[in-house]
Chain A
């Protein structure tokens, strides 16, 4: 199993450009999440999905859109990138239950710089 993979690993954008980050998981997880990590801020939830075809806003959703057309994929889009979106982006996935042995599994991260 590859677990959670993210594409690309690094990207540099100019202000106003658009891009899509791809997250894929092969664990048949129902739930998927996008977080951003900024220095001194921990991880903050951008958007999440509780199943194919569903998405919902997290803590910091402005400037981002998401889609979950297939259960295994969760896409994060930036329509018009801004320097404030310079960050490391993590995708995660989990089963749809709580309790022990149901931690979130994280991808390796995408480092995005917006100039």
Chain B
């Protein structure tokens, strides 16, 4: 079974509008972290936002926020006021054993969502 599922291969949004990119995860480990990375057409991986499984509040970083629904095992990325430069591939990833020590802290990635921002 996939540990990270991103069900939207592609998404379109108008400039200045908000968009939500979906991510669901599967783990039996109570200690985990969830990440979103952006990959523009130039290819580099850019870290956007992090949510720990024990964090009480949803994470926010500028225009990025993470809608964390632990019971539903979802960690959707919300981008507010989209910009043309937001056009990129977005990856959700999970790191298990987050606070248990002795972990190798490896990431498991979803297959990604290609976001296109239209002017």
State the A residues within 8 Å of B (CB): 31, 33, 35, 40-45, 48, 50, 56, 58, 88, 90, 92, 94, 96-106, 108-109
Contacts and interface: CB of A to CB of B under 8 A. Distances in A.
B91 A94 contact: no
A109 B43 contact: yes
A105 B37 CA distance: 10
A43 B35 contact: no
B112 A88 contact: no
A106 B45 contact: yes
Nearest to A105: B47
Contact of A40 (B47, B50, B108, B111): B111
Contact of A98 (B44, B45, B95): B95
A50 B45 CA distance: 21
A19 B89 CA distance: 29
A104 B107 contact: yes
Given A90-B45, A99-B99, 11 more contacts: A33-B106, A35-B109, A42-B111, A42-B112, A45-B107, A98-B33, A100-B52, A100-B55, A104-B35, A108-B43, A108-B44
B103 A98 contact: yes
Contacts of A44: 109
A89 to B, nearest CB: 11
Contacts of B50: 100-101, 103
Given A42-B91, A90-B45, A103-B50, A98 B98 contact: yes
Given A42-B91, A103-B35, A98 B109 contact: no
Contact of B105 (A35, A90, A96): A96
A62 B93 CA distance: 23
B111 A94 contact: no
A55 B34 CA distance: 24
B104 interface: yes
Interface string B79-104: 00000000000010101011110011
A108 B45 CA distance: 7
A48 B103 CA distance: 12
